[in-house]
Amino acid sequence: MIPGPDIILACPHCEALAKLPTFDYVDPTGALSWTDGYQELPGVPRQPNVVRCHACSKVYWLAVAPQLGFLNPGEVGEGDRAAWNDLPAVTPTDEAGYFQALREGLAAFPEQELELRVFAWWRGNDRFRDCKDDVRYPTNPEAIANAERLIELTESGDHELVLFRAEALRQLGRFKEAGEALYGLCSDYNLARERQRELIAAGSRNLDVLFTEETLNRLAAEQEAAEREYLAEAQSSDGDDVVKS
Ligand SMILES: [Zn+2]
């Protein structure tokens, strides 16, 4: 991981300053995809979309926070920028923070509501990613209501949303509907669909690993080999044509 500049932001509620660390390069080794669609890179801090202000405790979309400038890695701010040197980093939002964001009206339209609900769900599911508990799905009323609303919002969505929907249905134990939702996926999502079908057939509601990096690498290698074979065949049949003509 190679750090990039720290961006200096002002809270849109109280104007308190904070810094947003960025990264110029992130090593993709060990990437993991989860059944809820969350993709994890071990050791890499999450790039937040909604953060909590350290001064007023309100939450806000990073995208609407005024950006005052930046400090490059190792740079020490001087003059007017000296105050930037010791700013706290923005605090990424947890599950409770996303519920707060929904209550405080940060969802101005349905796509934003869906984004906040998916992130609330992911941050709630985080507690199950490194655990072997028998129960690894939402059990508290607010998290269940969130998953139910997420299912409503993804009713006529595209493929990625179909996977969110099927997973939320499966986590709520609505296996028949989860299986039906998977019909909405095109063949690009075969592997994810098969994994979901296995879990549904096993009657599992638990959050699980969808793909490891090894699976993705193996698939990429298989695809490459198939393309090479196809090209070799196409070239040899071109040769045949030349001979015939
Ligand atoms: Zn504030």
pLDDT digits (tens, 9 = 90+) for 141-162: 999 999 999 999 999 878 889 9
CA distance 136 to 133: 6
> Tokens for 165?
């929907």
> Tokens for 41?
């890179």
- Cα 59 to ligand 1 centroid, rounded to whole Å: 8
- Cα 3 to ligand 1 centroid, rounded to whole Å: 26
Burial 97-129 (b: 16+ CB within 10 A, else e): bbbbbbeeebbeeeebbbbbbbbbbbbbbbebb
In 89-187, where do the E strands start and end? 91-92
Looking at residue 244, its pLDDT comes to: 46
- Cα 15 to ligand 1 centroid, rounded to whole Å: 6
- Cα 98 to ligand 1 centroid, rounded to whole Å: 16
- Cα 14 to ligand 1 centroid, rounded to whole Å: 4
Query: Strand, helix or coil at 162?
Result: helix
- Of 7, 29, 171, 19, nearest to 87 by C-alpha is 19
- The DSSP code for 157 is -
- Of 19, 178, 186, 170, nearest to 90 by C-alpha is 19
Q: Give me the amino acid identity at 26.
A: V
Stated as kind and residue range, the H or E segment containing 13 is none
- Cα 60 to ligand 1 centroid, rounded to whole Å: 9
- Cα 218 to ligand 1 centroid, rounded to whole Å: 47
- Cα 52 to ligand 1 centroid, rounded to whole Å: 8
- Cα 58 to ligand 1 centroid, rounded to whole Å: 6
Looking at residue 26, its pLDDT comes to: 82
Looking at residue 245, its pLDDT comes to: 43
Q: pLDDT per residue over 26-69, tens digit each? A: 887 888 899 999 998 887 878 889 999 999 999 999 999 999 99
CA distance 28 to 94: 24
- Cβ atoms within 10 Å, residue 159: 13
Within the chain, which residues score under 50 in pLDDT?
A: 243-245
Are 94 and 101 a contacting pair, CB within 8 Å?
A: no
Burial 213-238 (b: 16+ CB within 10 A, else e): eeeeeeeeeeeeeeeeeeeeeeeeee
- The DSSP code for 68 is E
- Cα 110 to ligand 1 centroid, rounded to whole Å: 25
> Tokens for 50?
């909604």
- Cα 46 to ligand 1 centroid, rounded to whole Å: 21
- Cα 108 to ligand 1 centroid, rounded to whole Å: 20
β-bridge mates for residue 17, sequence order:
10
| Contacts for 169 with CB less than 8 Å, ≥ 6 apart | 151, 175, 177, 178, 181
- Cα 90 to ligand 1 centroid, rounded to whole Å: 11
- Cα 116 to ligand 1 centroid, rounded to whole Å: 19
